[in-house]
Protein backbone atom coordinates (compact mmCIF):
# COMPACT_ATOMS: atom_id res chain seq x y z
CA UNK A 1 0.00 0.00 0.00
CA UNK A 2 1.48 3.32 -1.13
CA UNK A 3 2.00 5.78 1.68
CA UNK A 4 4.63 8.06 0.15
CA UNK A 5 3.26 9.95 -2.80
CA UNK A 6 5.37 11.74 -5.37
CA UNK A 7 4.29 14.01 -8.19
CA UNK A 8 4.83 14.17 -11.06
CA UNK A 9 5.81 10.66 -12.18
CA UNK A 10 7.74 12.01 -15.15
CA UNK A 11 9.02 15.39 -16.22
CA UNK A 12 10.82 16.38 -19.41
CA UNK A 13 12.35 19.81 -19.61
CA UNK A 14 15.01 21.87 -21.31
CA UNK A 15 18.39 22.87 -19.93
CA UNK A 16 18.14 26.01 -17.84
CA UNK A 17 14.51 25.59 -16.79
CA UNK A 18 13.29 25.38 -13.20
CA UNK A 19 11.44 22.29 -11.96
CA UNK A 20 9.73 21.33 -8.72
CA UNK A 21 8.86 17.92 -7.37
CA UNK A 22 6.42 17.20 -4.58
CA UNK A 23 6.37 14.52 -1.92
CA UNK A 24 3.81 13.72 0.75
CA UNK A 25 3.78 10.92 3.30
CA UNK A 26 0.75 9.71 5.21
CA UNK A 27 2.62 7.53 7.68
CA UNK A 28 2.96 10.14 10.40
CA UNK A 29 6.75 9.96 10.17
CA UNK A 30 9.02 12.71 11.43
CA UNK A 31 11.86 12.31 8.94
CA UNK A 32 11.87 12.65 5.17
CA UNK A 33 14.59 12.27 2.55
CA UNK A 34 15.44 12.95 -1.05
CA UNK A 35 17.58 10.44 -2.92
CA UNK A 36 18.88 10.65 -6.48
CA UNK A 37 19.08 7.44 -8.50
CA UNK A 38 21.14 7.50 -11.66
CA UNK A 39 20.84 5.33 -14.76
CA UNK A 40 23.03 2.66 -13.13
CA UNK A 41 20.61 2.45 -10.20
CA UNK A 42 23.08 4.06 -7.82
CA UNK A 43 21.20 5.69 -4.93
CA UNK A 44 22.69 8.81 -3.40
CA UNK A 45 21.20 10.68 -0.48
CA UNK A 46 20.74 14.38 -1.12
CA UNK A 47 18.85 15.78 1.86
CA UNK A 48 17.09 14.68 4.99
CA UNK A 49 14.65 16.63 7.12
CA UNK A 50 13.51 15.96 10.65
CA UNK A 51 10.36 17.78 11.74
CA UNK A 52 10.75 20.40 9.00
CA UNK A 53 14.40 21.01 9.85
CA UNK A 54 17.22 20.28 7.44
CA UNK A 55 19.52 17.70 9.03
CA UNK A 56 21.55 16.24 6.19
CA UNK A 57 22.70 18.25 3.21
CA UNK A 58 25.04 16.19 1.08
CA UNK A 59 27.32 17.76 -1.47
CA UNK A 60 24.79 18.70 -4.09
CA UNK A 61 24.88 21.69 -6.45
CA UNK A 62 23.37 24.86 -5.04
CA UNK A 63 20.68 24.83 -7.72
CA UNK A 64 18.97 22.10 -5.66
CA UNK A 65 16.86 23.35 -2.77
CA UNK A 66 14.52 21.30 -0.57
CA UNK A 67 11.44 22.85 0.98
CA UNK A 68 9.34 21.52 3.84
CA UNK A 69 6.07 23.13 4.92
CA UNK A 70 5.30 20.51 7.55
CA UNK A 71 6.66 17.13 8.52
CA UNK A 72 4.42 15.34 6.02
CA UNK A 73 5.62 17.28 2.98
CA UNK A 74 9.04 17.63 1.40
CA UNK A 75 9.47 19.25 -1.99
CA UNK A 76 12.53 19.62 -4.17
CA UNK A 77 13.21 22.54 -6.44
CA UNK A 78 15.93 22.61 -9.09
CA UNK A 79 16.79 25.99 -10.52
CA UNK A 80 18.32 25.98 -13.99
CA UNK A 81 18.53 22.25 -14.63
CA UNK A 82 21.58 20.68 -16.26
CA UNK A 83 21.79 17.51 -18.39
CA UNK A 84 23.45 15.64 -15.50
CA UNK A 85 20.32 16.22 -13.42
CA UNK A 86 18.53 13.60 -15.50
CA UNK A 87 17.74 10.86 -13.00
CA UNK A 88 15.01 9.42 -10.84
CA UNK A 89 14.40 11.42 -7.67
CA UNK A 90 13.11 9.29 -4.83
CA UNK A 91 11.43 10.61 -1.72
CA UNK A 92 11.41 8.54 1.45
CA UNK A 93 10.31 8.79 5.05
CA UNK A 94 11.18 7.07 8.30
CA UNK A 95 9.59 6.88 11.71
CA UNK A 96 12.38 8.69 13.44
CA UNK A 97 15.86 9.94 12.85
CA UNK A 98 17.50 6.58 13.41
CA UNK A 99 16.30 5.61 9.93
CA UNK A 100 15.97 1.87 10.52
CA UNK A 101 13.39 1.51 7.79
CA UNK A 102 12.87 3.85 4.88
CA UNK A 103 9.58 3.97 3.01
CA UNK A 104 9.99 5.15 -0.56
CA UNK A 105 7.70 6.70 -3.09
CA UNK A 106 7.75 5.53 -6.69
CA UNK A 107 9.97 8.39 -7.79
CA UNK A 108 9.94 11.22 -10.29
CA UNK A 109 11.88 10.57 -13.48
CA UNK A 110 13.48 13.78 -14.76
CA UNK A 111 14.78 14.04 -18.31
CA UNK A 112 16.73 17.14 -19.24
CA UNK A 113 17.07 17.73 -22.98
Partner 1 sequence: SQLAEENSWALSVHEGESVTVNCSYKTSITALQWYRQKSGKGPAQLILIRSNEREKRNGRLRATLDTSSQSSSLSITATRCEDTAVYFCATAGTGGYKVVFGSGTRLLVSP
CA 48/CA 35 separation, integer angstroms: 9
Is 55 a residue that touches partner 1 (CB under 8 A)? yes
Nearer to partner 1, 72 or 79 (CB): 72
Is 41 a residue that touches partner 1 (CB under 8 A)? yes
For 49, the 3-state DSSP assignment is strand
Q: How far is CA 107 from CA 53, 89, 98, in A?
A: 22, 5, 23
Using CB under 8 A, pick the residue from 4, 74, 78, 87 that binds partner 1.
4
Is 33 a residue that touches partner 1 (CB under 8 A)? yes
Is 100 a residue that touches partner 1 (CB under 8 A)? yes
CA 76/CA 72 separation, integer angstroms: 14
Contact set with partner 1 (CB under 8 A): 4, 33, 40-43, 45, 48, 55-56, 90, 92, 97-107
Amino acid sequence: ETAVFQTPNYHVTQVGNEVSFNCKQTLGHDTMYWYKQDSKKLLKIMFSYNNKQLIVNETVPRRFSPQSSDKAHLNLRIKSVEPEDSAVYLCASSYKFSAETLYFGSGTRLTVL
